[in-house]
Amino acid sequence: MPMLRRLMELKCQVIDYERIVDGQGRRLVFFGRFAGLAGMIDTLWALGQRWRHEGVENPFTDVRQAYQYENIEHAKSDIAKVGRQIRQHGLPEACRPLVCGFAGYGQVSQGAQEIYDLLPVETVSPGELATVPFSAGACFKTVFHEKHMVERIDDSSPFELQEYYDHPERYRGRFHTYVPHLTVLANGIYWEPKYPRLVTRELLRDLYGRGDRPRLRVIGDISCDVEGSVECMIRTMEPDNPVYVYEPDTEQTVDGVAGRGPVVLAVDHLPCELPVDSSTYFSRSLRPLIPALARADFSGPLPDSGLPPELIRATIVYHGTLTEPYRHLEQYLKA
């Protein structure tokens, strides 16, 4: 807010690339896929390190962190080798079944699945998780939509997506029924406090409070909202030190992969770990809009500037004044 206030004092124009959308509100310039790509590479790295710490030699120890690869193709080639190794030799018994759940189905989730699908993947529905076989040569995956994450409180009618968006208070979370069956959770959802959480501290306390070690080893929280949909994501990390173990009984965290609780990937700027690929894609997405931006005349009103509709919708400040769609920011500026 201090930066925004200063830009307004200087009578600047502020165009936010995250608000460059089409007529249906769909983003045209974004990094989400690359967050998913980097996040899943790091998640598989963390899984290999966790199993190795437990004394289990496994093929994922050959996976490096995303920032250590020259580019995405180099990373994919490395992970494809892991996939071939699993096909030929299978997973160690202690690693079976390997089940990865993807929360969400948007750009972030699609990027994460793009990496995981380099393994010998078999897809199952969320309802089939309890009966996944202890297969040596398969890595299972399931994708969770909103209808899997929540249920109506009164149970009087089936799930309706728009109603859930408009009236989340009518729904309660049921994601806790799936978590015990997952080895890895890759979280890529958008979340606000009005929606139920996917993973609560209470759930983890119950899961890890039982006698046997739970199946869950790693939570790749690609969304990385502090105390958000994954409540144990309580602090952010850096690419060279990306994970910590959350201990449910003490609610404390320890850097690294050693501990009883789940390893949590908590990097909030994952596309930076694939700088060449993500920057090139971003530039290509933005490039078609640059000529009109260069020709724009900012001397008059915004509608007469010559900016295309995509950039007009993304203009937050014009001549130092908040535009109409962003007037709600005034309350935060005053605060």
**Directed axis angle between helix 32-53 and helix 107-116, to 10°?**
50
Same domain, 305 and 176: no
Domain count, the chain: 2
Q: How confident is the model at residue 30 (pLDDT cuts 50, 70, 90)?
A: confident
Same domain, 219 and 297: no
C-alpha closest to that of 94 among 48, 129, 127, 63 = 48
- Whether residue 320 lies inside any domain: the answer is yes
State what percent of residues in the chain have pLDDT above 90.
94
The residue among 276, 303, 319 that closes a domain is: 276
Q: Compute the chain's Rg from CA coordinates.
A: 22
Q: Quick one: 21 and 36 in the same domain? A: no
| 14 and 102 together in one domain | no
User: What mean pLDDT is reported for the chain?
Assistant: 96
Instruction: Check pLDDT > 80 for residue 335.
Output: no
Write down the pLDDT at residue 27: 87
Whether 152 is in a domain gets the answer yes
Q: Is 218 helix (H, G, I), strand (E, B) or coil?
A: strand
Last residue of a domain, one of 252, 276, 300: 276
Q: What residue spans of the chain are helical by DSSP H?
A: 2-9, 32-53, 72-89, 107-116, 146-149, 161-166, 201-208, 275-286, 290-295, 309-313, 330-334
Q: How far is CA 64 from CA 78, 82, 269, in A?
A: 9, 11, 18
Examine the domain organization and report whether 221 and 259 are in the same domain: yes
> Residue 334's pLDDT band (boundaries 50, 70, 90)?
confident
Kindly report the number of other CB atoms within 10 A of residue 137's CB atom: 13
The reply to whether 150 falls in a domain is yes
Is 193 in the same domain as 309? no
Looking at 247, 276, 305, the residue that finishes a domain is 276
Looking at the structure, tell me whether residues 244 and 293 fall in a common domain.
no
| Cα of 51 vs its chain's centroid, Å | 23
Same domain, 246 and 323: no
- pLDDT exceeds 80 at position 197: yes
Q: Are residues 223 and 312 in the same domain?
A: no
Structural domain boundaries, residue 299: 2-29+289-334
- Cα of 40 vs its chain's centroid, Å: 9
Report the predicted TM-score, pTM, of the whole model to 2 decimal places.
0.91
Residue 211 included in any domain: yes
Residue 79: inside a domain, yes or no? yes
Q: What is the CATH number of the domain that holds 172?
A: 3.40.50.720
The reply to whether 45 falls in a domain is yes
pLDDT at 156 over 80: no
Judge if 256 and 321 occupy the same domain: no
Residues 222 and 120 in one domain: yes
- pLDDT, tens digit, for every residue of 59-101? 999 999 999 999 999 999 999 999 999 999 999 999 999 999 9
- Residue 169 CA to residue 154 CA, distance in Å, equals 11
Q: Is residue 228 domain-shared with residue 82, that is, in the same domain?
A: yes
Domain presence at residue 282: no
